[in-house]
Each structure stands twice: as C-alpha cells, then as structure tokens.
Amino acid sequence: MNTLFDLLLKPFQSLQPLWGLMWISALSGIMMILVFKSTSNQQAISLLRRKMGSRALGMLLFLESPLTVIKLAFKLIVDNFIYLWHLLKPMVIITVPFIIIAAQLDARYSRVPLNADHPSTVTVFWENSIPENETIEPEAGTVISPVVTIADSLEQSFSFYGENGLFSLQSMGIKLGSTGSSGSIQIRGAEKSGLVQALLHPWNGSTEEEVLSVHSHIEETNYTILGGRWGWFTVFLVFSSLWAILGAVIFKVKV
C-alpha cells in the first residue's frame, strides 16, 4: 500500500504537500462514487427519490386535509428508512478503502517535518530491561534534553530536533521522520508490526528485538486555504466530497 501511494504521489514530490493531498482527495472522491454506483441498486434509489419527492409535494398540496398530510408523512418516513437501507451496503463497502486511505494520508500529511525549529519528544519502551547508560550520539538529529528513565515501567524519554527531516538513534532502535518531500511517510514510532498494523498504522515502523515500542510526539501541521487553517482530514473530507458530487453528475449516479 505504501508503494502504491508513493507511485500516485510521485508527480507531486517537488510541490507543496497540499497539492498531493488534494490529488488523493480527488481520486478518492471519484473512486468512492463509482464504487457506490456499482454496489447500490440505482433503479430502486431513483424510484424512491421520486416517490419521496411526490409525497413531500403532496403534503404541501393537501395542507387543508390533516389526515392526508399525516398519511403522506408516515409513508415518507417509511420511504426514508428503505432509502437508508439501500445506502447501507455501498457505504459499508466504501468504509474499507476510506479507512486505508485515511491512514496513509495521516502518515504523510498530518505532521510537520522534523527540523531544528520544532522540538519533538520520544519515549522508548523496553521489553525486558533498560540497557546500561551509554553516550547518546544520534546518527541524524540532536538530543536537546537529558534522557529521563522510569525503571518501573521500563521507559526512557527525551526531546530532540530533527536534521533534514530525520532523527535516528540506532542504539535505541529509533528512526523517526522522513525526507519531508510531498508524499513521503512521516514515521512517528515503532511497534511489533503485523498486516493490520501496517495498513492502519503506516506511520509506525518495526521495533528492534529489545524494544517493545517507540512513541513520539511530532507537531501537527495545518494548511492555509481560503484564509483558514485546515487539518489534513478537513481538506480530504471537503475536496473528496466535492469531487464525489461532481462525479455523481458526470457518471449519472443516484445517491
């Protein structure tokens, strides 16, 4: 999955991250509306929409007859429940790729690249015992605070700066960050990996043998759009929805 997104985002590597995020949002919106079309009963949805419209119009035309309005309102409520039932199957199917896409975008576009302006923190949880104190010399980046050790819970924490988007400390099995280019994954920790973790947590790497897990706190990023500060999920939700609406018009999808 990481390779697929790397290929999709390759043309945007030299541009601002927002362009890659909007590109994936556009693809997702079109893909989801086509999946909806292929997995839903378009004929039944179209018929229900016409019936619901006619019942709503009938309620306006027969306002002088309360009993008729009540009957039409009851039928309209029933139609709405049937309509929602027809939407259930395609929405459940769409949920699976939506979660995977969201996980990838969170890994790539939710955090500020590591640099010397934004300090970050990291906590290492050891599996069996904490190694003896050693001189901490990162291969990339700078440690800016003493290592705080909590022996009872087998954890060590400290703050650091990145260097060219990376922080690496091999003695603790730590490799955080990315090159910072658009579309690259920002590694934020490590854990005992598996297929589910790889799909839902692509921002985490695999731990070394002695390390149980690595957790980091890296500053979140926002994107300036129309004078506002938008998080990656807001950008994704808004632009994928707009493209889905456009796709529904182009491909004549009844929703």
Q: Are 127 and 139 in contact (CB under 8 A)?
A: no
- CA nearest to 214, candidates 138, 158, 145: 158
Q: Do 129 and 174 fall within a single domain?
A: yes
pTM for the complete prediction? 0.83
Are residues 23 and 97 both part of a single domain?
A: yes
Which residue, 6, 1, 24, 18, is CA-closest to 178? 6
Query: How far is 28 from 131, CA to CA, in rounded Å?
Result: 46
Residue 224, domain member (yes or no): no
Q: pLDDT tens digit string along 142-197?
A: 898 888 888 888 888 999 998 888 898 887 888 898 876 677 888 888 887 777 77
* In the predicted structure, residue 228 carries a pLDDT above the cut 80: yes
Q: Look at residue 177 and tell me if it is in a domain.
A: yes
The domain tally of the chain equals 2
Domain that holds residue 61: 2-6+17-110+229-250
Say if residue 96 is in the same domain as residue 149: no
Rg, the chain, Cα only:
25
